[in-house]
Structure 1
Amino acid sequence: MTNHPTDMWSLIDAAAARAPLTAATLNDLLGVSLSPESGRQTAGPARLGSKFTVQQVGTVSRPDGAWVFSYFDFDTPPCVGLDEVKGRHPDIVRTAIPSGHSLEEKFVWSSKRPWGVLNFGFRERDYCLVTVSLHSPGDWG
């Protein structure tokens, strides 16, 4: 891929279009080199465009190479809230709520896709989108 996404929405769309994701796919998508770290491959930060940075990207596969999930962590000012995400992904449903241990915990809203599940994580303290993950069908996240 010669043109890397330049904003959060183009990144999410490009990742969803290429799922299931591999380290090579993410390297190509973001122009980074993922490196092994505690059983997963990670990289970051990755600057995309003039106003968007992925703080960390990672992917996890089973020992047999089967994809489990990939994620993108970011903190994009201004805050991207639930209404904006629902405007682009109206089928999302809430699938997880914070346990109450920290204001950094996340509410998760999810959408089933042919390749698995697209998840949007919103930080509890301000309900801003801070992570997006893509999970294989057997690993509903």
Structure 2
Amino acid sequence: MKTFDIWTLVDYLPTRMPLERDTIQTILGAVLRETDSNEFTAFFEGGPVLLKNDVEIESIDLRVNRERASRRLLVLKFAGKCVTKAEVFGRNQGLELTDHPRGRSLDEETSWSVKQSWGQLSFGFSERNPDCLRTVVFKTD
């Protein structure tokens, strides 16, 4: 298994679309356990995974739509060394505000997203620590 830094990983994952459970396990070196399932969606979770520069993926959440095989949602939740908002905006042009906290919890996030040919890439910053990246979301159409 290759150890990635966060930006190499963010660039690499979209080249492996659609994101399959086995593919993610191979790339990240983490086991994804099926945690729930219904007639519409299969849910998988895994982690933690240590990336380069002491950045940690605290948890991996993959959701696979059973009705539309190409539809996937992958959420990577980060911990460890802070990846700053300035770093995120410096590396990703065209980000637009797509979600904001509603005052229910310090864990709610402000999300900034950009459309890609494969779907949408989003970066979330929690109210608890608003300058540090908390989530990266890959959402395919």
Q: TM-score range by the shorter chain?
A: 0.7 to 0.9
Name the count of aligned residue pairs: 134
* Paired position in structure 1 for 2:117: 114
| CA distance 1:51–1:81, shift in 2 (3 Å) | closer
CA distance in 1, matches of 2:29, 2:96: 32
* Paired position in structure 2 for 1:99: 102
Shift of 1:99: 0.7
CA distance in 1, matches of 2:18, 2:124: 19
Structure 1 moving runs of 4+ over 4 Å: none
1:117-128 pair list within 5 angstroms:
117-127=120-130, 128=132
Normalized against structure 1, the TM-score is what?
Answer: 0.86
- Indicate conservation of the 8 Å contact 1:76/1:130, yes or no: no
Normalized against structure 2, the TM-score is what?
Answer: 0.86
- Indicate conservation of the 8 Å contact 1:22/1:67, yes or no: no
Structure 2: tracts of 5 or more residues without a match: 38-42
Structure 1: tracts of 5 or more residues without a match: none
* Paired position in structure 1 for 2:56: 53
Correspondence 1:90 to 2:93:
yes
1:24-63 pair list within 5 angstroms:
24-39=22-37, 40-49=43-52, 51-63=54-66
**CA RMSD in angstroms, aligned pairs only:** 1.6
